[in-house]
Structure formats: structure tokens, C-alpha cells
């Protein structure tokens, strides 16, 4: 039972990342009708927002203590982060919690990047074929990838988990089990909770705000909304920025789990598109459901017992399930009629 629960939590954790990226992809496709192959790069840029923030707040001052000598007789250099010199203990907390705090940097940066992408490039391809959209956004993803590589290098840059959040939670006790029977890393639990909050926030924004209602109406019938005198294009630009923010903050919080590198976006891009297709093109709830479903299936497929019976199943389970679902339901789990159909 504890093994089952542990794998279920692993799947929900991984599915949270898939769902967040797929949610942004579906939001863009459902509103703008654009197949955005640069969305994985936005996840990667979010990761490097966390890297940049930590780099900035860990810039150091170097002082020499003549009373302390190294084994070679030279004065010892004392390196202290600038923020710790300026703010004392609070500065040390900023350094320790750099990953979650970097969300404050990632949100405006990703919003501006998303709006700039939409206004500068994407808007010119609204009425072009999906093949052309894929080519231009894939090319944009490669450009962003190479820019990041030129600034940060090709090697992964690990980001630390805050000291107080390292270790594992004794989840078994919460379910009435004996202590230490079922434990799970705190940060993974936090990421799962964070994913749920972001997904819930996006759905609440679209469901209960006037802005969101207009966007949903535009998704259903863009021309009619435009005839009512509403500037739907401006609202869709904001939606593209929102999708970029969702991908960015998902990347920020994922950095302690997987060290950021320049090709991280491409690694998640293919999986996230499979999630979108399985959930149904244009269906937000389908993207979220498919993300968690495929995350859970991949988690169970990675168990040693399963891989010993079917070697390599953990590498293909997502694609295998996608094929089966699309054979049974060609539009995906919750796809709408007429989406990407000739």
C-alpha cells in the first residue's frame, strides 16, 4: 500500500508539471488558434529567471581578516553576499529562499516576454496554416535556447532547496500509518500544491472575472465578440502573456527538482504536446486531466517490478497510451468538434 501511495504521489508531482505547461499551450491554442512550439522555451526561461535571481542576490563582497591565516600563512578571505551585508539575517533568508522568491521576478519578466512574442511575431501568423505556425515558433524556441546557452553555458546549474524545506514529510502518519512507513520529499509536495493553486487560479480567473468571461466568449466565437465592440485582440495578447507566466512560474519552482539547462524546454515540449493532444486540442480541463493521468501512468511504469516485466515501458508508456486514446477517441479525452479538423 505504501509503495502504491508513493508512486501515486510521484505521478501527481510529475503530472503537475505536465499539466501546467499543457495548460498554457491549450490556453494559447484555444484563444489564438496558434500551435506554439516555443512554449517549452518559456518554461526554460522561467527556470533561468530563478538562476538569474540567485546569481544577483549572491553577489559577494570580499574582505580580508588579517587575524585569520590560511595553512600557507596568507590572510583568510571572507566572502559574504551583499544582501546579507545590507539586510543581515533577512538577507540570509533571501538567499536561502531564492527559488520561491524569484517568482516575484519571473512574473513580470515572463509577462513582458509573452506580450512581446505575441505582438512581435505570433500575431502575424494567426491566419496562416498550423504548419507555418509550428515552423516559426519552433525556430523561435531554438533562438531562445541558443541565447540562454550563450549567457549561461551548456552545463546544468543546480538550484538549492531552502534549508527548512529539505528532507521528507512523514505522510504515512497523516493516513494513520506507523511513523516512517511512507515519507515523501517536502519540496515535491510543495510543487504539487503549487501546481494545484496555479491551475485553480487560472480556471477561477477565466470563470469568475469579466475579463475571463470575454476571453471564453472569444474562444467560442471571436467574430461575434469583435462585432460587439470589444477589443478581443488586446485581451488575447494578455492571455498569451498569462500563458507565458504560467509556464515561467512552473519552471521556477521546478528548478530544485531538475537543474536548469538550455535544452530543458525541448525536453518538456514533446511531452506537453502529447498531453495537449490526449486531453483534446483546445480543452483546458482536458489538458489538466491528461497531464495528471499521464504523469501517474509514467510513475507506475517506472517501478522496478513493471520494468522487469516490460523493459523500457517507462520510456514509451505516455506515447502508447496516447495512441490508444486517440484510436478510441480521435479528438482526445475532452476535445471539441471542429478543432484542427478539415
175 or 191: whose pLDDT is higher?
A: 191
Q: How far apart are the first and last CA of the chain?
A: 48
79 or 6: whose pLDDT is higher?
A: 6
**For position 32, what pLDDT does the model report?**
75
**pLDDT average, residue stretch 111-136:** 87
Cβ-in-10-Å burial (0-12, 13-18, 19+) of 223 comes to exposed
**For position 342, what pLDDT does the model report?**
46
| Nearest-angstrom CA–CA distance, 264 and 255 | 10
Q: Is the pLDDT of residue 255 over 90?
A: yes
**For position 310, what pLDDT does the model report?**
85
Q: Is the pLDDT of residue 282 over 80?
A: no
- pTM given for the model: 0.86
| Nearest-angstrom CA–CA distance, 131 and 11 | 33
Q: Is the pLDDT of residue 208 over 50?
A: yes
Model confidence pLDDT, tens digit, residues 65-105: 666 666 666 666 677 777 777 777 788 888 889 899 999 99
C-alpha cell at 253: 519552482
| Residue 105 to residues 45, 63, 205, Cα–Cα distance (Å) | 12, 30, 21
Q: What integer best gives the mean pLDDT of the chain?
A: 84
C-alpha cell at 266: 525541448
Domain locations in the chain? 2-56+99-328
Model confidence pLDDT, tens digit, residues 37-58: 888 899 999 999 999 999 888 8
| Residue 95 to residues 59, 92, 105, 146, Cα–Cα distance (Å) | 10, 5, 14, 28
**For position 110, what pLDDT does the model report?**
94
**For position 272, what pLDDT does the model report?**
82
Amino acid at each position: 500500500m505504501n509503495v502504491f501511495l508513493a508512486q501515486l504521489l510521484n505521478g501527481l508531482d510529475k503530472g503537475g508539471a505536465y499539466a501546467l505547461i499543457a495548460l498554457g499551450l491549450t490556453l494559447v491554442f484555444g484563444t489564438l488558434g496558434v500551435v506554439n512550439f516555443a512554449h517549452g522555451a518559456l518554461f526554460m526561461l522561467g527556470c533561468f529567471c530563478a538562476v538569474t535571481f540567485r546569481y544577483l542576490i549572491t553577489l559577494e563582497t570580499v574582505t580580508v581578516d588579517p587575524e585569520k591565516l590560511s595553512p600557507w600563512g596568507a590572510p583568510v578571505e571572507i566572502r559574504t553576499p551583499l544582501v546579507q551585508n545590507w539586510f543581515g539575517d533577512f538577507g540570509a533568508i533571501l538567499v536561502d529562499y531564492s527559488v520561491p522568491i524569484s517568482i516575484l521576478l519571473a512574473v513580470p519578466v515572463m509577462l513582458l516576454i509573452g506580450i512581446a512574442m505575441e505582438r512581435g511575431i505570433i500575431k502575424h501568423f494567426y491566419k496562416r496554416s498550423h504548419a507555418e505556425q509550428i515552423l516559426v515558433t519552433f525556430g523561435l524556441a531554438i533562438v531562445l535556447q541558443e541565447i540562454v546557452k550563450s549567457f549561461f553555458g551548456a552545463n546544468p546549474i543546480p538550484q538549492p532547496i531552502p534549508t527548512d524545506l529539505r528532507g521528507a514529510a512523514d505522510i504515512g502518519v497523516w493516513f494513520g500509518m506507523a511513523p516512517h512507513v511512507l515519507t515523501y520529499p517536502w519540496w515535491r509536495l510543495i510543487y504539487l500544491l503549487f501546481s494545484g493553486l496555479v491551475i485553480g487560479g487560472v480556471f477561477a480567473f477565466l470563470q469568475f472575472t469579466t475579463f475571463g468571461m470575454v476571453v471564453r466568449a472569444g474562444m467560442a466565437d471571436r467574430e461575434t465578440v469583435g462585432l460587439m465592440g470589444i477589443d478581443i485582440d488586446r485581451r488575447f495578447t494578455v492571455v498569451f502573456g498569462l500563458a507565458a507566466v504560467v509556464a515561467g512560474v512552473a519552471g521556477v519552482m521546478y528548478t530544485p527538482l531538475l537543474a536548469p539547462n538550455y535544452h530543458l524546454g525541448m525536453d518538456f515540449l514533446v511531452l506537453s504536446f502529447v498531453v495537449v493532444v490526449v486531453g483534446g486540442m483546445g480543452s483546458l480541463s482536458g489538458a489538466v486531466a491528461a497531464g495528471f493521468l499521464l504523469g501517474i501512468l509514467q510513475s507506475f511504469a517506472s517501478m522496478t517490478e513493471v520494468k522487469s516485466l516490460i523493459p523500457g515501458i517507462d520510456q514509451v508508456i505516455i506515447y502508447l497510451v496516447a495512441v490508444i486514446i486517440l484510436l478510441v477517441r480521435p479528438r482526445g479525452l475532452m476535445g471539441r468538434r471542429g478543432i484542427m479538423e478539415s
